[in-house]
Amino acid sequence: MSIFKNPVAKRRWQRFRESRRGFYSAWILLALTLCSFGAEIFANNRALIVVHDG
């Protein structure tokens, strides 16, 4: 079963998938976007570990 009911959209998706650079770039952008959602854990306003020699 195809996601696209419209044959024009299906043809456009097939042409996009054939373009390796565009297809892989879209996957990389998606992965980076998903990773950025977890960036708040690593870069927030509270320190997770504090070492103080005093």
Residue with tokens 């998938």: 17
pLDDT at 29 (0 to 100): 96
Structure tokens at 11: 């043809």
Model confidence at 1, pLDDT cuts 50, 70, 90, reads: low
Long-range pairs for 16-23 at CB < 8 Å and ≥24 separation? none
Inform me whether the pLDDT recorded for 48 exceeds 80. no
Structure tokens at 25: 């770039």
pLDDT tens per residue across span 5-46 = 899 999 998 998 899 999 999 999 999 999 988 887 777 777
Residue 13's CB is within 10 A of a number of other CB atoms, namely 14
pTM above 0.85, yes or no: no
pLDDT at 21 (0 to 100): 93
Model confidence at 49, pLDDT cuts 50, 70, 90, reads: confident
The 3-state DSSP class for residue 45 equals coil
- Which residue intervals of 1-54 are DSSP H helices? 7-18, 20-37, 39-42
